[in-house]
Structure 1
Amino acid sequence: MASEYRRKCLAKIHIAKKELGLSEEDYRSLIEATVPGKNSAADLDDGQLQQLLDRFYTLGWRPRLPRNRERPLPATVWKARKLWLQLYELGAVQNPQWTALARFAKRMTGVGDLRRLTGKHAAIVIEALKQWLERAGGETE
């Protein structure tokens, strides 16, 4: 029976394949390039699975933050998300996902979980995004 670690790694690998939009052929080629002689994630040992996940990270994939139903996202976070997506539409941001916004917020405030942003932290993030949007030529509301 597969270990819990192995099961989670395989799940992440298949999610990354989908989110990166890899074709079956590109996916198999990526496995082969990462672990020569192998072209299926099922054939990889735990260390090789981690190598493949590391490869996905270098391609820009990041796992999504788990949603916590007990703690909904504050309205200020939704405002930051809206600005983030405007920046994405202008081409100023490469990754429209929540995880990318969370990494930006962490660089700005030190808080990586968007649900845990205080009002002060959220204001810092929103103002930084507004300034970035102005520099990118977009309009803020």
Structure 2
Amino acid sequence: MSEVSNDREYRRRALAKIHIAKKELGLSDEDYRELVRSAVPGKESAADLTDGELRQLLDRLAQLGWRARLPRVAERPLPPMVWKARELWLQLYRAGKVQNPSWASLGRFAKRMTGVGDLRSLDVKQATVIIEALKRWLERAG
């Protein structure tokens, strides 16, 4: 594969990641353009960025808490306790107490509660902390 093809492939993947991050972080178009401007002054669209600037924007998205998902073949199965937390998270979403039902949003909640944002890496104690917090929140929500 030529260097030009590699550059195109990197660019395609980087742009895809950026747009996935925008969606998962729940950024409006205005917020997204402001984010691009803050990461790369003078630019408003990822399409206008060089490869190095795309890396800068991806770094900025990581600072905001977004993490690219692992390829499916590399994913470890989620423990049953994580599925329980997910169900409670979705109940809170249906009750109008959580704005974003995504796995990424639950991961950010887990990170605030335990310091561990990768749900696959939670131990039993950490998962219990999250589940109990979600149960209490759901009780308060009625």
Question: What range describes the TM-score normalised by the shorter chain of this pair?
Answer: 0.5 to 0.7
Matched, 1:86 2:100: no
Residue 47 of structure 2 corresponds to which residue in structure 1? 42
Structure with more of its chain in helix, by fraction: 2
Residue 78 of structure 2 corresponds to which residue in structure 1? 73
Percent identity, aligned pairs only, is 63
TM superposition score normalised by structure 1: 0.66
Write the distance in 2 (CA, Å) between the matches of 1:113 and 1:57.
13
Q: Which range moved further: 112-121 or 7-16?
A: 7-16
Gapped runs of 5+ residues in structure 2? none
Counting only pairs closer than 5 Å after superposition, residues 20-31 of structure 1 correspond to structure 2 as 30=33
Name the count of aligned residue pairs.
131
Which stretches of structure 1, 4 residues or longer, exceed 6 Å deviation after superposition?
A: 54-58
The residue type equivalent to 2:110 in the other structure is A
Q: Report the Cα offset of residue 6 of structure 1.
A: 4.0
Gapped runs of 5+ residues in structure 1? none
Deviations 1:27-68 (A, max 9, x none): 8x938x83787665333224543565578789x893453256
Counting only pairs closer than 5 Å after superposition, residues 10-29 of structure 1 correspond to structure 2 as 10-16=15-21
- Cα-Cα RMSD: 3.6
TM superposition score normalised by structure 2: 0.66
Q: Report the Cα offset of residue 13 of structure 1.
A: 2.4
Change (3 A) 1:69 1:108: same
Residue 66 of structure 2 corresponds to which residue in structure 1? 62
Q: Report the Cα offset of residue 18 of structure 1.
A: 5.7
Deviations 1:2-30 (A, max 9, x none): 277644421212334566597xxx58x93
Residue 106 of structure 1 corresponds to which residue in structure 2? 111
The answer to whether the 8 Å contact 2:107/2:119 transfers is yes
The answer to whether the 8 Å contact 1:65/1:98 transfers is no
Write the distance in 1 (CA, Å) between the matches of 2:103 and 2:92.
13
